[in-house]
């Protein structure tokens, strides 16, 4: 009887070990971004749809290397309410029939949501990946990008799917336009994020 219990215990330990081994091996698999994505460190969140990043090092024309570049990145395909009273907040107020105070309150919620996506638990992600479309910069000098988190989720898509942004498609950057529209409709219909 003792021998039977001992064997049963060994079998349980063996299967527990196997389960732990496979769980850890799958958990340690990381999403690998395509080679043309640019690795960047997030410095801060300006608005729900705008972040500031730094790029440690990049080489142009296989000759000139630039280091510690700092850029403002406007997330392609989405538009969140402004988190500060400014000219754009007034424009959004006229477009939505909401007063500027309401726009700013919603903008602060969108900003907090974006900040939460850029964190893993209590610590912030140390880096993200930038994917560019046809036009890499806007007239204000900001980079235009789809921002990918280290776990393979796209920040732009997570924000609009979570109900914190409107779709904003400005050609020629239209790569994920249909996906963003589907997310927007789903978020509105299910009263997610700002639509609660």
- Cβ proximity of 42 and 53 under 8 Å: yes
Number of domains comprising the chain: 2
The answer to whether residue 142 is catalytic is: yes
> Does 23 share its domain with 43?
no
> Does 93 share its domain with 7?
no
Host domain of residue 25: 1-30
Helices first, then strands: H and E counts in the chain: 5, 9
The answer to whether residue 105 is catalytic is: no
Which residue in 82, 109, 131, 158 is the catalytic one? 82
Distance (Å, whole) CA 27 – CA 31: 11
> Does 126 share its domain with 55?
yes
The answer to whether residue 139 is catalytic is: no
> Does 13 share its domain with 108?
no
b/e per residue, 171-187, with b = 16+ CB within 10 A?
eebebbbebbeebbeeb
> Does 77 share its domain with 174?
yes
> Does 108 share its domain with 47?
yes
> Does 101 share its domain with 168?
yes
Q: Give the confidence band of 15 by pLDDT, cuts at 50, 70, 90.
A: very low
> Does 14 share its domain with 49?
no
What SS3 class is residue 173? strand
> Does 69 share its domain with 140?
yes
Q: Could you report the per-residue pLDDT of 132-190, keeping only the tens digit for each? A: 999 999 999 999 999 999 999 999 999 999 999 999 999 999 999 999 999 999 999 99
């Amino acid at each position: 009887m003792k021998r039977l219990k001992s064997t049963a215990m060994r079998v349980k330990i063996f299967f527990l070990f196997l389960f732990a081994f496979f769980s850890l091996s799958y958990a340690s698999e990381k999403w690998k971004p395509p080679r043309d994505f640019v690795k960047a460190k997030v410095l801060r969140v300006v608005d729900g749809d705008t972040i500031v990043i730094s790029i440690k090092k990049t080489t142009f024309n296989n000759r000139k290397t630039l280091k510690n570049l700092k850029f403002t990145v406007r997330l392609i395909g989405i538009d969140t309410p402004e988190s500060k009273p400014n000219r754009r907040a007034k424009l959004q107020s006229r477009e939505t029939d909401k007063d500027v105070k309401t726009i700013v309150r919603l903008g602060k919620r969108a900003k907090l949501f974006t900040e939460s996506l850029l964190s893993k638990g209590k610590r912030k992600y140390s880096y993200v990946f930038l994917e560019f479309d046809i036009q890499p910069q806007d007239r204000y000098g900001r980079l235009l990008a789809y921002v990918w988190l280290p776990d393979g989720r796209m920040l732009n898509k997570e924000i609009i799917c979570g109900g914190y942004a409107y779709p904003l498609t400005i050609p020629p950057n239209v790569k994920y336009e249909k996906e963003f529209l589907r997310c927007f409709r789903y978020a509105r219909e299910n009263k997610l994020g700002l639509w609660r």
